[in-house]
Amino acid sequence: MGPWFSRSKPLSLWRGLRGKCPHCGKARLFYRYLKVEPVCQTCGHDLDRYPADDGPAYFTVLIVGHAVIVPFLILGAPLIWKAPLAILIPCSLAAIGVVTLTMLPIIKGGVVGLLYALDINRADAHLHTADAAE
Ligand SMILES: [Zn+2]
């Protein structure tokens, strides 16, 4: 790809966040919970070339940790200090688990959409700093 290459980053991100192919926006991106379709069922675009790797997990932990847990602790402080631990800990872990597992495919779709828009694919793996150290 040359310098003329340009894909809409907001559109690709939006399509990915919705779990749709970032190229056409019509077909689904995942065939199972976090398994990306190797090839788009509608447009035939090679989706397997965009390696999300640990990015979705990192962003999910970052978002859940800052946007969910901290407000929960601040807003729920009066309740948290009075509630019995036998109820509080299982309920909190279940709620955090549900939020995390709900957000993970959404964020993975967004990461794949952004990788598509920026045309970062497996061929760029040699640019990885961790691999360059070898
Ligand atoms: Zn497609």
pLDDT for 71 equals 83
Which residues are CB-contacts of 16 (< 8 A; sequence separation ≥ 6)? 22, 29, 109, 110, 111, 112, 113, 114, 116
CA of 125 to the centre of ligand 1 (A): 24
The structure's pTM equals: 0.84
The span from the CA of 117 to the CA of 47, in Å, is: 12
pLDDT tens-digit profile of 34-49? 999 999 999 999 999 9
Residue ranges near ligand 1 (ion) with Cβ within 5 Å: 21, 23-24, 27, 40, 42-43, 45
pLDDT tens figures, 49-70: 998 889 999 999 999 988 888 8
- For the chain, the domains span 9-123
- Per-residue confidence band for 128, with pLDDT thresholds at 50, 70 and 90: low
Tell how far the Cα of 109 is from the centroid of ligand 1, in angstroms. Answer: 13
